[in-house]
Amino acid sequence: MVDFEELLAVAYKKERLQSRRLAKHAALSEHAALAKTLMKAAATQSLRDLVDARLAAQAKAADALRLRKRERAERANRRIAVDSSPAHGEAWIGWFDGSALPNPGRLGIGGVLKGPQGKSVEISAAAGIGDSSAAEYLALIALLEAALREGAAQLMIYGDSRVVIDDIAAPESAGIRSLAHHAARVRTLVAQIGDVRLQWIPRARNADADRLSRQALGLLALRAA
């Protein structure tokens, strides 16, 4: 007889319910009842053939799902071009930074968003508890959300976090697992905006966003994270 675990793995919900009723009313073991239920579904096939066919179908579906996820990640990554080219004249420009006090500890996020027509938006907010990488990601997310609200269709973003910029540029399956939910949110926002480019800059060139992230923590002197 086919192992019970294999039968459970391929049985549909309706078949599992039927087998439980059969086990109860016919005084059969759960294994025997499920095997009998699936043999009925197999019709002219053997039970082994039914199990193998369903396992193959499950594997095929899982492969197709992984492929769709990879294609979505690749499309999102193509939109997030890590690039050193100058921003287009119609693009919005943004800077982001995050601080942790201590690290890990309280988080502050900062950002500056500037539009092609001269509009400027500043972000400075406390962002809960975590480490500096989470703070950087949350700052980037806040900047993207602000750009989306402003209707930006092209966006050039600068930040001094190698961790975040490299993580976003990597394939989804190769990203940092503890930051995956933040990366997923970034990709969703990028897909809504359209054309987003991301570039690393030295900390000294990110002074305004740095100041705003520290300001959210009540810091006015040296950066805490």
d(CA 131, CA 165): 16
Check pLDDT > 80 for residue 78: no
- Mean pLDDT score across all residues of the chain: 88
Among 158, 156, 148, 153, residue whose Cα is nearest residue 110: 158
Check pLDDT > 70 for residue 73: no
Check pLDDT > 80 for residue 208: yes
Q: Which amino acid is at 165?
A: I
Residue 116, C-beta contacts closer than 8 angstroms, at least 6 positions apart: 89, 90, 91, 92
Phi and psi angles of residue 103, each rounded to the nearest 5 degrees, phi first:
-120, 105
pLDDT computed for residue 222 by the predictor: 43
Residue whose entry in the numeric block shows the structure tokens 């006090």: 101
Contact criterion met (CB below 8 Å) for 175 and 167:
yes
Q: Which helix (H) or strand (E) holds 140?
A: helix 132-149
CATH topology (fold) of 83-215: Nucleotidyltransferase; domain 5 (3.30.420)
- Which residue would you say has higher pLDDT here, 78 or 46? 46
Neighbours of 44 (CB within 10 A): 5
Check pLDDT > 80 for residue 43: yes
DSSP, collapsed to helix, strand or coil, labels residue 57 as helix
Split at pLDDT 50, 70, 90, the class of 225 is: very low
Give the start-to-end residue ranges of the domains of the chain.
4-79, 83-215
DSSP state at residue 45: S
Split at pLDDT 50, 70, 90, the class of 81 is: low
Contact criterion met (CB below 8 Å) for 111 and 152:
no
CA angle 201, 205, 211 (to 5 degrees): 115
Phi and psi angles of residue 62, each rounded to the nearest 5 degrees, phi first:
-65, -40
pLDDT computed for residue 63 by the predictor: 83
